[in-house]
Amino acid sequence: MSIAAETKQQVAEIGEKYKYGFVTDIEMDMAPRGLSEDTVRFISAKKGEPEWMLEWRLGAFRRWLTMKEPNWARVHYPKIDYQNAFYYAAPKNTPLKQSLDEVDPKLLETYKKLGIPLHEQMALAGVAVDAVFDSVSVATTFKEKLNEAGVIFCPISEAIRDYPDLVKQYLGSVVPVTDNFFATLNAAVFSDGTFVYVPKGVRCPMELSTYFRINASETGQFERTIIIADEGSYVSYLEGCTAPKRDENQLHAAVVELVALDNAEIKYSTVQNWYPGDENGLGGIFNFVTKRGDCRGKKSKISWTQVETGSAITWKYPSCILRGDESVGEFYSIAIANNYQQADTGTKMIHLGANTRSRIISKGISAGKAQNTYRGLVSVYGKAKNARNYTQCDSLLIGGDCGAHTVPYIESRNPTARIEHEATTSKIAEDQLFYCLQRGIPQDEAVSLIVNGFCREVLQQLPMEFAVEAQKLVGISLEGSVG
Amino acid sequence: MTGITALGLPEARRNEAAAVFRARGVPHRRVEEWKYSDLKSALGEAGIGAGQADLRISHLPSGVETFDLAGPNPPDWVREYFGLASRNVMSAASLSLSAGGTAFRVPRGLAVAEPLKFEFTGSGHVRGLVVLEDGASLTLVEGVTVDKFRNAGLEIVLGEAARLDHVRVSPNAGDAVLVEEVSVRIAQGGQYRAHFAAFGSKLSRMEVEIALEGEGAEAHLSGVALLDGKRHSDVTTHVIHRTVGTRSTQLFKHVAGGHAKAVYQGKVTVAKGANGSDSNQSAKALLLGENAEADLKPELEIFADDVKCAHGAAVGDLDAESLFYLRARGIPEAEARGLLLQAFLEDAVAEIPNTDLRELVRTELLTALKALV
Amino acid sequence: MLDIKNLHVSVGGKEILKGLTLSIQPGQVHAIMGPNGSGKSTLSYVLAGRAGYDITEGSITYNGEDLTALKPEERAAKGVFLAMQYPVEIPGVTTMTFLKTALNSQRRARGEPDLDAVSVLKQVRAKAKLLNVSEEMLKRALNVGFSGGEKKRLEILQMSVFEPKLAVLDETDSGLDIDALRVVAEGVNALRDPSRAMLVITHYQRLLDYIVPDRIHVLAGGRIVAEGGKELALELEAKGYEHILKEPA
């Protein structure tokens, strides 16, 4: 059985808890099972790609055949049979439900807790209503506005067709084809993703993808995203969705490449709430992501913010290459692992240029039987005069059966650089909980309040409306974790 | 067959060690734990060989029993404790390749006032064993001789409420490649204090694994490294809190000038159920040379929720404002730098409980500092 | 309002309260005095429902209801407030957020609608002023970095915002200098009300100069060993606990 089909079956067996999104029988337009040059050619043909793109993919595939799956992270999972999976499956159409009555009430309850507006709830749950079309038309309006500003914001397949020169220039320029096992796999078989180009001096008039939340939630198994901020521009990009996501692919291997030129700034925020598996650790998404930003220009800035609450396995290290002098890298992270989830996440800050600065704030929360690892690298090279880094790495444990781990690497080769790293480990103290209860706050809400307090510095980095939902998500992810 | 092999010591322990070493081989920079210390390339074609190094006792206080590990008829305490730590790759190498060394025992309740002084010497592999029975206490002063290559494995076993103060001074050892693995087991209420002063060599690695096995067991580690030229020093620690109410602290201060490389890797593990564990780790490095390098990896591995664990790490240079202040008061720059470096290192040196030893380390540091600034 | 009968409480298998009986009517202020280790804090935690305090015998009735059957948050919603001796720090949660969350939780439990942020803010601000709690304190994380006096003033501010029916003040005077004590006591006195009962727990008579009780109970060895009017406090002050403990209760 393929891993995808296996997940599907496991999820079906679990039944009640997470059945939404997994029950629709979608008519597939499928690539043959397994991975070969033919699969790669099939995907490229499906996407109507030019020859150079196919060659790029094939190069990646040949390389991938020689690579080994990495095993250094603190994550354990059954061996993935890459030859027994499907690599391309385009959903033709999704049978729509007639009303919200047909939707799993538990799903609706989660939407309500998250405060998602009604029409979006319907869209997320796949209900046929006019309201959905409203939001699509809203999306169209904003697209016009982006056009006016000269911002390119489109699916990557469209960019390969319409802006081949830009794509050729930047694709694989931050995450090389040969970077790592999963990134190379992605290069060979990616079928989805976003392309963003913000021209010189343009401040992108809106948070990209906030208004496209519904569309953005329909992401594929192997996404590839490229964001380029040309000189003096600014863009804020939101990825993901606080609502539980419909997805039946067990294996995910996305690649995100960011390029910031002189004086440009990119802010990239992620909320990841994919299926984490059930209370017994059955099912769930394996998420192997390569995200990297290149501060190529002087005084450029790239800021990653992530709220990771989903997936059975998270393997993700959004990084910054601080190449331009005076460039700035930031990483703000909340990672929550509950039940049997395993998260191994962190960042790399590579200081190459002079006067580069980086800041890392990581908040890890472990509950149930989960393992949560922060893994980070701060590396200062010889030419990075006066480089500065500050890292704060806090872990919170809920219960005595989980694990919280911190693995920072600090490397300095310049005497004028300063690096500071601090880490703490704590738990929700019984007296904190009692204090909240005594003031009338129920247990789950008290846990949510305390954990949100613990995560505050990171939540503050999220765009306002996203932050509110993320706060609620933090609470929902930990419901029932304190007995 | 000679030495310990001939003595009917559990052959299984040696076989196991040999298997571990065979499986892993001489570590190099692509082996995670040896990322910053490429032993294989430092040794070059000569490899680790199978030579026999030695343990030389320079002062043996009365009351301390010894046993020559190359001799016949080992006593029960040697049979019981020798060769238990074999999971570490280089420790496995010395266990399977060495046929000599010395074992020491301090009997129950005996407080030995005078320090026991010894040094590993010669090229090759060698083992040592120090057993402190319940309530015993001892100060261990370890010297290091300069030889081409040495791999020493030292096992320390502390009984209930036993207390060992361990001070190791590793001088500037030029082209030497020196590797030492210390494995410490501490029973209830036992206490291990260690200070490692290192002046580096082509490759120097001090690796300590400490298991806090009994309630209330404590380990306190501190160290300084002062490196110049192309010297390297690596201190790698792993403290395992196996049970409730255990404590550990670590304070390391490293200074690297020239092309030197100072490495600290410290891992603290708190096992499931080891509630009330308290651990604090601090590692700081100062770089003086354009081509010097400092690597720090303070690691936490926590499987219990009721714990207090923190670590801090920092790399930087001398505080410009302090330097200016001292110079403004008429202190020449070199001297001012020396003073500030001394101050930087001092709190780690202050951790040495024995006054004489503390002074000894201070003197060594001062001499090296003069050469550095 | 509150009826405690023959209350026996154990903590970790050790009996701390050994048959305590006490009754308070609405509008009354009672004080419990006693030496260290007499069981004063245990009594306050048992009333608030903290886990780990096992009632082995006796009963606590609150407005005719068995208080011990209620969870801590249910007691809070029903008007039981404990001003703690050591108010707890909650990093990252601003005081204002905490007040709003707690107030609305209590209201929800009582079937009342939530108050919006603006009206909570207005209410809190007005009351904060009287207690000398600054705007800046409301913005800071709850109790984090607060001085002893600030923490205690914040407890009384919460009491005035939540408007409890039964307020238990556990060693509210500890760690306060005379000026801070006066501010806190004035805050408490302002909340005296015919419909509200208060139980003031203290080691020293000093606090009772400012919050004058209707009745004083002396707690020692887990039992009430002496009772009387406010003059009892002065007697204790003059002669010490030793003297009272020697007399037959």
A160 located within any domain: yes
Nearest-angstrom CA–CA distance, B256 and B292: 6
Any idea how long chain B is? 373
pLDDT classification of A372: cutoffs 50, 70, 90: very high
Give residue A129's pLDDT band: very low, low, confident or very high (50, 70, 90): very low
Q: Which amino acid is at C106?
A: Q
Which residue type occupies B276? G
The dihedral region occupied by C235, where left means phi > 0, alpha psi between -120 and 50, and beta the remainder, is: alpha
pLDDT of residue A17: 36
Output DSSP code: residue B190. -
As a whole number, the mean pLDDT across chain A is 83
pLDDT value for C246: 66
Residue A460 in any domain: the answer is yes
pLDDT of residue B107: 97
Mean pLDDT of A471-478: 88
pLDDT digits (tens, 9 = 90+) for C151-180: 999 999 999 999 999 999 999 988 888 888
A453: nearest CB among C91, C103, C162: C91
- Which pLDDT score is estimated for A22? 29
This prediction has a pTM of 0.88
| Contact residues on chain B for A427, CB-CB shorter than 8 A | 305-307
pLDDT number for residue C203: 85
What was the pLDDT predicted at B9? 58
Residue closest to B167 by CA, chosen among B373, B352, B11: B352
For residue A106, pLDDT over 70 is answered with no
Q: Does B297 touch chain A (CB under 8 A)?
A: yes
Least confident segment among A215-229, A288-302, A316-330, B70-84: A215-229
| Cα–Cα nearest to C140, from C93, C174, C106, C175 | C93
A96/A225 Cα distance (integer angstroms): 29
Lowest mean pLDDT of A171-175, A212-216, A256-260, C184-188, name the range. A212-216
Give the total number of structural domains in chain A.
1
Q: Is residue A452 part of a domain?
A: yes
List the one residue out of C126, C146, C132 whose CA is nearest residue C187: C132
Residue A14 has pLDDT above 50, yes or no: no
Residues of A in contact with B317 (CB under 8 A): 415-418
Domain assignments of chain C as residue spans, ordered by start: 2-246
Asked whether residue A74 is domain-assigned, the answer is: no
* Residue A416 in contact with partner chain B when CB distance is under 8 A: yes
Residue A307's SS3 state is strand
Q: Which of A467-476, B23-32, C228-237 has the lowest mean pLDDT?
A: C228-237
Distance from CA of B337 to the nearest CA of A (A): 14
The structure tokens listed for C43 are 């009594």
The confidence band for A137, taking pLDDT boundaries of 50, 70 and 90, is very low
Domain for residue A113, yes or no?
Answer: no
The pLDDT value given to residue A25: 31
C219: exposed, middle or buried (C-beta count within 10 Å: 0-12, 13-18, 19+)?
A: buried
Residue whose token pair is 């780690």: B348
A and C: number of Cβ contacts within 8 A: 81
| A3 has a pLDDT exceeding 80 | no
Q: Is A452 on the interface with C (CB under 8 A)?
A: yes
pLDDT bin (cut points 50, 70, 90) of residue A347 is very high
Q: How far is A432 from chain C (nearest CA, A)?
A: 6
* pLDDT per residue as tens, chain B (373 positions): 344 444 455 678 888 899 999 999 999 999 999 999 999 999 999 899 989 999 999 999 999 999 999 888 899 999 999 988 767 899 999 999 998 899 999 999 999 999 999 999 999 999 999 999 999 999 999 999 999 999 999 999 999 999 999 999 999 999 999 999 999 999 999 999 999 999 999 999 999 999 999 999 999 999 999 999 999 999 999 999 999 999 999 999 999 999 999 999 999 999 999 999 999 999 999 999 899 999 999 999 999 999 999 999 999 988 888 888 888 888 888 888 998 999 999 999 999 999 999 999 999 999 999 888 7
- pLDDT-derived band at C61 (thresholds 50, 70, 90) equals very high
Q: How far is A361 from chain C (nearest CA, A)?
A: 14
Give residue A119's pLDDT.
61
H helix count then E strand count, chain B: 8, 18
> Among the listed ranges A194-203, B97-106, B319-328, C40-49, which one has the minimum average pLDDT value?
B319-328
Asked whether residue A140 carries a pLDDT value surpassing 70, the answer given is: no
Residue A92 lies in a domain: no
Q: Is residue A212 part of a domain?
A: yes
Give a yes or no: residue A208 inside a domain: yes
Would you state the structure tokens that stand for residue A52, as one six-digit string? 């150079």
Domain locations in chain B?
A: 11-318
Residue A211 has pLDDT above 80, yes or no: no
Task: Give how far A361 is from chain B: nearest CA, Å.
Answer: 14
CB contact (8 A) between residue B314 and residue A420: yes
Considering the segment(s) C2-246 as one domain, its CATH architecture is: 3-Layer(aba) Sandwich (3.40)
A401 touches chain B (CB under 8 A): yes
Q: Calculate the alpha carbon distances from B150 to A449, B67, B340 in Å.
A: 56, 21, 34
Distance, in Å, from the CA atom of B294 to the CA atom of A419, rounded to the nearest integer, reads 11
Nearest to C73 among A440, A453, A457 (CB): A440
Does C176 reach chain A within 8 Å, measured CB to CB? no
Q: Which residues of chain C make contact with A435, given a CB cutoff of 8 A?
A: 84, 87-88, 90
Considering chain A, what percentage of its residues have pLDDT values greater than 90? 57
Residue, of A246 and C131, whose pLDDT is higher:
C131
User: For residue A27, what pLDDT is reported?
Assistant: 38
Q: Which of B288, B293, B307 sits opposite A425 (nearest CB)?
A: B307
Tens digits of residue pLDDT in A25-45: 333 466 677 888 988 998 898
Q: Please answer yes or no on whether A413 and B293 come within 8 Å at the CB atom.
A: yes
C213 DSSP assignment? -
Q: Does A118 touch chain C (CB under 8 A)?
A: no
As a whole number, mean pLDDT of residues A390-394 equals: 97
pLDDT score, position C128? 92
pLDDT over 80 at C144, yes or no? yes
pLDDT at A117: 64
Kindly state whether A440 is in contact with chain C, defined as any CB-CB distance less than 8 angstroms.
yes
Cβ contact A418–B272 (<8 Å) = no
Q: Is pLDDT at A151 greater than 60 in this prediction?
A: yes
Per-residue pLDDT tens for C67-110? 999 999 999 999 999 999 999 999 999 999 999 999 999 999 99
